[in-house]
Structure 1
């Protein structure tokens, strides 16, 4: 029996399945329904796992942050410096930080297989030891094209990093461990592409326009107020 509370799209799909068009469009419709069901299961997984992994997402002392350390809305960004979409997403996030004094951003470096990606992530994390992460991060994000090791070290020199010290710091096993933790966490959350944002109890993939991101932040802020004091709070 059809649920009277079912959405109009779901009802339309069911009606089409039982119509004469089902033979022609059945495979497409079934694929849509399967994707919808998979997404619903994924959302349920996130809403359970994200609160459980709160400390790993927000409180890893080795993870660089931006914005208000005590902000009421934490946003976690999984990124790769050689990912053009990550650069676009970072520009959106920088706009949001300018407009929202209560936003906190946590950077989770999880490099993909592009040449130079892991080297860039290690260099960025190592730059924190010289107090230059923010400047280096912005310079790497402002670069164009795929970054080689030479490009990355050239940018490091331009922002005032001691490159020889940086290379020594990059060999610290603790920095490699940060990347491993980040990528393991991404795998748990079924994040397999960058950029990906963890905001509230959801994972948002792809590049957002500033107004869209601000709507997500406003929604999470309101939901956080309603969850205040509740043990089921996502963050």
Structure 2
């Protein structure tokens, strides 16, 4: 995200410099003639030369402009995220079809968007499990965000079907620690006492398909395009962050609510 902001800032900085130059040129034209809004080729070249020389002699101005643009973009993005999180708060933490782990009555809710075929998500699953173990007041909402192909979709549907039989968390942990295919899904289901025939039937249900679609739409509304992503309070945390980072965000959120 930072690289994208930097490139965007550089483009905007260049556009800003051009805008200032043209504005200056227009001002020069108006000072000379109220009847003309155009500049001759020589006039443009002269002004462009002055601007170029000035920037070459004072390159720090470009750096300062880029820094300011980045700060403004980051502030704008933070405001956008804050509004989006408030707008979609119910969908994030109160959707009845989304599985819940940890302490269902916990004071802090951690929402995770993940894909079972994502290596970073497998690492994040262990981190989240450790967080739940260390903090008994953490409530987790699992958002199946299958974006890495058909196997991911199949696994997500299987997990949501396991949820219908009250075995989501163990099934989820099993999928995160093993390979993903129908044979492994069947084996995992049998090991957990899940009715596999019912699970396969539920996997094809419109309710589960609708849950996945809701998750896609929610992720899009929050500008989430990758996995894993955690949402805690007013923060969106992308990537397989470590346990200490999550603990700090949770602590900050608790402090913010006081």
Distance (Å, rounded) in 2 between the aligned partners of 1:48 and 1:55: 13
Superposition map of 1:32-43 within 5 A? 36-43=71-78
Cα deviation 1:26-75 (Å, max 9, x = unaligned)? 6x887776555443322111111211211111111111011111211111
**Stretch moving more, 42-51 or 99-108:** 42-51
The aligned counterpart of 2:8 is none
CA RMSD of aligned residues (A): 2.4
Residue in 2 aligned with 1:59?
94
C-alpha distance 67-37 of structure 1, shift in aligned 2 (>3 A) = same
Q: 1:177: which partner in 2? A: 210
- Counterpart check, 1:103 vs 2:142: no
Aligned to 2:123: 88
Query: Are the aligned partners of 1:75 and 1:104 in contact in 2 as well (CA < 8 Å)?
Result: yes
TM-score normalized with structure 2 length: 0.72
1:138 aligned to 2:173?
yes
When normalised by structure 1's length, the TM-score is 0.79
Structure 2 counterparts to residues 18-29 of structure 1, below 5 A: 20=57, 22=59
- 1:139 positional shift: 0.4
Distance 1:158 1:214, change over 3 A: same
2-structure distance, mates of 1:205, 1:33: 24
Count of matched residue positions in the alignment of Structure 1 and Structure 2: 205
Cα distance, 1:114 vs structure 2? 2.5
| RCO comparison, higher one (Cα < 8 Å, 6+) | 1
Compute the displacement of 1:149 (Å). Answer: 3.2
| Corresponding residue of 1:14 | none
What runs of 5+ residues in structure 1 fail to find an aligned partner?
A: 1-16, 226-235
1:115 and 1:148 in contact (8 A); partners too: no
Between structures 1 and 2, the one with greater helix share? 2
Does residue 183 of structure 2 align to residue 150 of structure 1?
yes
Cα distance, 1:155 vs structure 2: 2.5
Bigger radius of gyration among the two: 2
SS of 2:92's equivalent in the other structure is helix
Q: Specify the SS of the correspondent of 1:130.
A: coil
